[in-house]
Amino acid sequence: MSTPPGPSQGSGSKPSGVAGKVFPRIDLDGHDLPPSPAPSSPRNGRKYALATELVYTESKDQYGASSMPIYQSATFKQTSARGGGSEYDYTRSGNPTRTHLERHLAKIMNAARALVVGSGMGALDVITRSLRPGDEVITGDDLYGGTNRLLTYMATHQGIIVHHVDTTTPHKLEAVVSEKTAMVLLETPTNPLIKIVDIPTIAKMVHEKNPKALVVVDNTMLSPMLSNPLDLGADIVYESGTKYLSGHHDIMAGVIAFNDPAVGDKMYFTINSTGCGISPNDAFLLMRGIKTLAIRMEKQQSNAQTIAEFLESHGFRVRYPGLKSHPQYDLHWSMARGAGAVLSFETGDAAVSERIVEAARLWGISVSFGCVNSLISMPCQMSHASIDAKTRKERQMPEDIIRLCVGIEHVDDLIDDLSRALVQAGAVNVTLDGFHAVDPAQALAGVPIDGSDTIVALA
C-alpha cells in the first residue's frame, strides 16, 4: 500500500496576522474597555519552515533567557496609583509567560491572535459565551463526548438551539443554515469515527448564506502541525492543548486562535472576567511541549500508519485517514499535511473489544490522545460515555469500536503487544501463516487464549 506524505514542514512563507496592531477593546455588550495588556505579536508572519518556527522564539525576557521563565506572580507592582511601570497588573488579566505562549501560538496557527485557557472545554466555553437565547448552533453527529455534553447543557439550560447534522455532507448542513445561525462548529477528523469534514466548502457556504455566522473548527485531532483551519475559511479555531501541543499528558490547556480583533476582545473579556486563563506554570509546560511537536508528530504518525496497515491487512475494519481505503482520503489530504496518530477499528462485538483492551499491556487503558505514550480505549464506555446509549445508536456509533492513540514507542513493541492482545481476546484465527480477524459470532464464542506471553508470528 502506498504511504501518504508525512508531516509537511510547511512553506513557512505565508504572512499572516496584524503585526503591531492594537486591538480596540470592547466588552460583551460592545462597551469600550482599556487597552489590552497583551497586544498582538510583533512577529506573527512566519519566516521559517513550521518545524523551525516551533522552536524559534524571540523572547522578550529582560535577561535574554532562551526559555521564557515562569512568572509565578499573581500581581505586578505599579509605579503610580493610576498604574504604569508594567504591561501587567494581575495574572488573571495577563502574565508574561502566558503572553509569550499566546504570541508563539498565534504565529504557528497563522492567526492574528491566540488566547490560552485551562482546558479544551474551557476554550469552547469561552467561544460559546457570545451566544444568546434563540441563537442556533449547527454541529456534527460525531463529536467528542465533552463537546456534545456542553452543547446539550446550552440547549437545555440556556435556550440555545443545537442542530446535530451529518457534517460530512455539506448540503445536509446547508439545509439548516438560516439567519438565526450564530455558529457552525466542526470537528475533523471526528473523534472517534474519524470522519472528514470539508471545511472550505462549508465555510464558504455558511458565510454566503449568513455572513454573521461564525465557523468554528476544533483542530485537536490534527494540531497546527498538520492543519491551519483559519487558512481554510474558519473564523475561529480552538484545540485542546492537553493533546498533541503539550504532548506529555502533564497539563490541561485550551487554545483559541482567530483573526478578527472584535471576536478576540469578547473572548479576552470572558477570560479575564471568569478567570479561566492558563496558569504561568502550565503556560511554561505547554510552550516547552510545542517545541518538540514536529518530531513527536512525525514519529507518532509513522507508527500509526504502520499499525493501521497491520490491522487492515489482518481483516479488521480500520478508520484512519492515512489509509487509501478511507472513503474521504482525498478530501482529508486536500486540507491537511498528515493523518495524525488516532485511529479506530471494529471487531464486530463489544465484549471481544473489551477483552482486547484489557489484554493490552504496553497500550495504556486511558482516555486522551496526542501523547508520547500509546493508549487504547473504548470510546462508548470512556471518552464518549456522556453521550447516552440511545443517542449513540441513533448516531451509528459502534459500541465495539476501539480507539488507538499512537505514541512514539518502537513500533515493533506496539504491534507485538497488540497482536498478543488480539490473540488472547480470541479476536483472531491463528494459523501457521499468521492470523486473521475472526467472524464476530466466532469471536463471541471464542475462549480467550491464556498464554499471555505468546508472541505471534505475523503473516
Ligand X SMILES: N[C@@H](CCSC[C@H](N)C(=O)O)C(=O)O
Ligand Y SMILES: Cc1ncc(COP(=O)(O)O)c(C=O)c1O
The smaller minimum CB distance to ligand X, of residues 10 and 146, is found at 146
Q: Are 26 and 273 in contact (CB under 8 A)?
A: no
Q: Which partner from the list ligand Y, ligand X, none does 252 bind, CB cut-off 5 to 8 Å by kind? A: ligand Y
Say whether residue 383 binds ligand X (CB under 6 A). yes
Task: Convert 107-141 to b/e letters by CB count within 10 Å (16 or more is b).
Answer: bbbbbbbbbbbbbbbbbbbbbbbbbeeebbbbbbb
Number of C-beta neighbours around residue 412 at 10 A: 9
Which is catalytic among the residues 141, 142, 218, 265? 218
Q: Are 335 and 200 in contact (CB under 8 A)?
A: yes
Q: Are 28 and 129 in contact (CB under 8 A)?
A: yes
Residue 376 φ/ψ, nearest 5 degrees: -130, 140
CB neighbour class for 432 (10 Å; exposed up to 12, middle 13-18, buried from 19): exposed
Given candidates 16, 95, 110, 242, which one binds ligand Y under the rule CB under 6 A? 242
Residue window 415-454: x/- pattern of binding to ligand X, with contact defined by CB under 6 A: ----------------------------------------
Residue window 158-197: x/- pattern of binding to ligand Y, with contact defined by CB under 6 A: -----------------------------x---x------
Catalytic, 243? Answer: yes
Given candidates 368, 373, 391, 429, which one binds ligand X under the rule CB under 6 A? 368
Given candidates 97, 119, 168, 181, which one binds ligand Y under the rule CB under 6 A? 119
Say whether residue 373 binds ligand X (CB under 6 A). no
Q: Which partner from the list ligand Y, ligand X, none does 102 bind, CB cut-off 5 to 8 Å by kind? A: none
315 backbone φψ class: left, alpha, beta (φ>0; ψ -120 to 50): left
Q: Which partner from the list ligand X, ligand Y, none does 386 bind, CB cut-off 5 to 8 Å by kind? A: ligand X
Q: Which partner from the list ligand Y, ligand X, none does 218 bind, CB cut-off 5 to 8 Å by kind? A: ligand Y
Q: Which partner from the list ligand Y, ligand X, none does 306 bind, CB cut-off 5 to 8 Å by kind? A: none
Residue 268 and residue 215: Cα distance in Å, rounded? Answer: 19
Catalytic, 48? Answer: no
Q: Is the peptide bond before 229 cis (omega within 30 degrees of 0)?
A: no
Catalytic, 218? Answer: yes
Cell of 56: 524559534
Residue 392 and residue 415: Cα distance in Å, rounded? Answer: 30
Q: Cell numbers 480552538 label which residue?
A: 238
Say whether residue 218 binds ligand Y (CB under 6 A). yes
At closest approach, how far in Å is the CB of 315 from ligand Y? Answer: 28
Residue 384 and residue 148: Cα distance in Å, rounded? Answer: 9
Q: Are 397 and 142 in contact (CB under 8 A)?
A: yes
Q: Under rule CB under 6 A, which residues in 100-159 are in contact with ligand X?
A: 144, 146
Which is catalytic among the residues 25, 98, 243, 296? 243
At closest approach, how far in Å is the CB of 147 from ligand Y? Answer: 6
How many binding residues for ligand Y (CB under 6 A)? 15
The smaller minimum CB distance to ligand Y, of residues 142 and 312, is found at 142
Catalytic, 266? Answer: no
Question: Which residues of this protein are in contact with ligand Y, per CB under 6 A?
Answer: 119-121, 144, 146-147, 187, 191, 218, 220-221, 240, 242, 252, 254
Active-site annotation, residues: 92, 144, 218, 243
